[in-house]
Structure 1
């Protein structure tokens, strides 16, 4: 707390296939729990049929209770295994990590070039559209 961190955090909501639903870009000094509220609210407004959400361990606390009481969602927090050493693939978390890897292959998302967070969010959506178009092209 109270650290002066430069940069931005990218909070994303993806579907089970890893396609982007909602992205929120915040300052890096914003805690994940605080950045999760607007992300979940925006996800609920765009996709009201969602009922279950998996989240990283950084989104624990009041956010889980708020999602249950306000949005009617159940949230499962994906935590690491106790006593884990080294890298271990965690269930459901790999979907988001894979999606971020796909999206950051785009040159404009590889670094934080943009001034406004809204511009970065727009580039995320554009990169996702490009990804979906490539997949459609292969299937035709």
Structure 2
């Protein structure tokens, strides 16, 4: 079965704005470009403030700002691009320098990253989305949409119940 990647666009409440399921050989930048173009056609008046990780810095970031009209904020670990240090011959690495290497890093809360992870976790609660059962990407997109619709209806029902109790 072909490998696929899911690209979701959600707001800060976790409400789904768009979904695109593409082959795994399509890069994240290309896939998100396709998703934003589709969102622009469906909702041309929508302007977003996009949070993206460091892999989207550069040309993609500029493309979204100029062609789509969204603002982009890159969020990443403060030590994300540390690959090594140049040291004098007799000097050893400090404890703080060692902790910047992969495998030695401590947990760091990254601004807004939890929103993305939460949205993907919600999809994992649906058994149908836990594995790639579908032959067509459109079928997987439809089940992701159904999953988020169900989640939104549950949130609305809980809110309505709170209002009914308060009244």
TM-score range, shorter chain: 0.7 to 0.9
Q: Which residue matches 1:66?
A: 63
> Match for residue 98 of structure 1?
118
* Cα separation, 2, equivalents of 1:67 and 1:122: 26
Partner SS, residue 123 of structure 1: helix
Query: 1 or 2, which has the higher strand percentage?
Result: 1
Distance 1:32 1:96 in 2: 14
Determine which structure has more spread, i.e. the larger CA radius of gyration: 2
Equivalent residue in structure 2 for 1:54, among 29, 40, 51: 51
- 2:47–2:69 CA contact under 8 A, matched in 1: no
| Aligned-residue RMSD, C-alpha | 1.6
Picking from 4, 9, 25, the partner of 1:13 is 9
TM-score (norm 2): 0.74
User: CA contact under 8 A between 1:10 and 1:24: conserved in structure 2?
Assistant: yes
Distance in 1 of aligned mates of 2:4 and 2:55: 16
Count of aligned residue pairs for this structure pair = 135
Q: Secondary structure at the match of 1:81?
A: coil
In structure 1, which of residues 109, 114, 127 is the aligned counterpart of residue 129 of structure 2?
109
Q: CA deviation at 1:130?
A: 0.6
Per the TM alignment, residue 112 of structure 1 is displaced from its structure 2 partner at its CA by: 0.9
Q: Is the 8 A contact 2:14 2:119 kept in 1?
A: yes
Distance 1:23 1:137, change over 3 A: same
Asked if structure 2 preserves the Cα contact closer than 8 Å seen for 1:36 and 1:59, the reply is: no
Paired position in structure 2 for 1:26 = 22
Retained in 1: the 8 A contact 2:20–2:35?
Answer: yes
Structure 1: gaps spanning 5 or more residues: 1-5
Q: Which runs of 5 or more structure 2 residues have no equivalent in the other structure? A: 80-99, 161-167
Q: Secondary structure at the match of 1:53?
A: strand
